Amino acid sequence: MKVIGGWAWLNREVAVEEKVKVKNQMKVLAVELLNEGGFPFEKYCKHDTVLVTGDGHTLPDDVRRFESWNIPHDVYCVNRSMLFFERPITHWGAVDSEESVWFSENVNRKIKPKGHRILRHCIGEMPMGHDIHWRAINFAEMNKIAKHLWTGNSSLLAILSSVEMGYKRIVLAGIPLDTKQHWYHPEGTEGPNWVGMVYRQWMDFKMEIPEAERVRSLSGYSQFIFGEPTREWLNGNAS
């Protein structure tokens, strides 16, 4: 089996040809905190609503629409979406080690001014450069069926960890789950090639986990799965 350096399951990332094998795939619909002694989320999570941002081509339009509603919120950036913002963000997360290296090279004073802390989330115990460590809960493994590979993505980590941190409303921006270009690439550039299990995990989360009702998306297939946020819903006045 071809193995390259990375995060997956104690710092090993498995090649795509192994990830797509059904026998290796696992269903992950929740995470639990690994930090010894817990973590004081109440000190950093200031609002009931969190805006989770991904690198999809819809990011600019999604964020502009959301911000036009003037809803108090925290920002949880996935991968490189943090560079879209000209103001401090609360959270940053990724499941790939190369993105963690990228973070350390590109963080700037606009999003992390002096005295401001960005909480950096990851899967597993990665003591260098991360604050919050999560363990993916494998329901199949809990039933004694060994599965090893999580085919979820960084945006799913952000959703699951936002649920665990207690956010009441989780709004997705720039997470259309399609194959178009990233927001920072020109139109027509090749986008991500999703493994089919990724879509299944998102659908299973919606159908099986009650906390999925806290999630809405501003665009794409994720909006089809979770529904569209409205200003009324964000203010707690509508379902």
Q: What is the pLDDT, as a whole number, of residue 118? A: 95
Q: What is the pLDDT, as a whole number, of residue 102? A: 86
Taking residues 167-173, report their average pLDDT.
98
Q: What is the separation, in whole angstroms, between the first and last Cα of the chain?
A: 48
Taking residues 141-163, report their average pLDDT.
75
Taking residues 143-172, report their average pLDDT.
83
Question: What is the reported pTM?
Answer: 0.87
pLDDT of 144 higher than 60: no
Q: What is the pLDDT, as a whole number, of residue 147? A: 56
In a domain, 36, yes or no: yes
In a domain, 210, yes or no: yes
Which domain covers residue 179, as residue numbers? Answer: 3-234
Query: How does pLDDT run across 30-74, given as a tens digit for each residue?
Result: 999 999 999 999 999 999 999 999 999 999 999 999 999 999 999
Q: What is the pLDDT, as a whole number, of residue 23? A: 61
pLDDT of 79 higher than 50: yes
Report the distance separating Cα 196 and Cα 187, nearest Å: 24
Confidence of residue 161 (pLDDT cuts 50, 70, 90): very high
Query: How does pLDDT run across 181-231, given as a tens digit for each residue?
Result: 999 999 989 888 887 778 888 999 999 999 999 999 999 999 999 999 999
Contact between residue 132 and residue 122 where contact means Cβ atoms under 8 Å apart? yes
Q: How far is CA 187 from CA 56, 57, 137, 155, 227, in A?
A: 12, 8, 37, 22, 26
Q: What is the pLDDT, as a whole number, of residue 234? A: 95
Computed over every residue of the chain, the mean pLDDT equals 85
At which residue do the structure tokens 């002096």 appear?
Answer: 114
Tokens of 88: 């401090």
In a domain, 166, yes or no: yes
In a domain, 146, yes or no: yes
In a domain, 239, yes or no: no
Q: What is the pLDDT, as a whole number, of residue 29? A: 87
At which residue do the structure tokens 């696992």 appear?
Answer: 26
Query: How does pLDDT run across 95-138, given as a tens digit for each residue?
Result: 877 788 888 888 999 999 999 999 999 887 765 678 999 988 87
In a domain, 168, yes or no: yes
pLDDT of 141 higher than 90: no
Q: How many domains does the chain have?
A: 1
At which residue do the structure tokens 């690198």 appear?
Answer: 55
In a domain, 180, yes or no: yes
Query: Which H helix or E strand runs over 142?
Result: helix 139-142
Q: What is the pLDDT, as a whole number, of residue 10? A: 37
What single letter denotes the amino acid at residue 61? Answer: D
Q: What is the pLDDT, as a whole number, of residue 199? A: 83
Confidence of residue 3 (pLDDT cuts 50, 70, 90): very low
In a domain, 214, yes or no: yes
Q: What is the pLDDT, as a whole number, of residue 11? A: 36
Contact between residue 28 and residue 137 where contact means Cβ atoms under 8 Å apart? yes
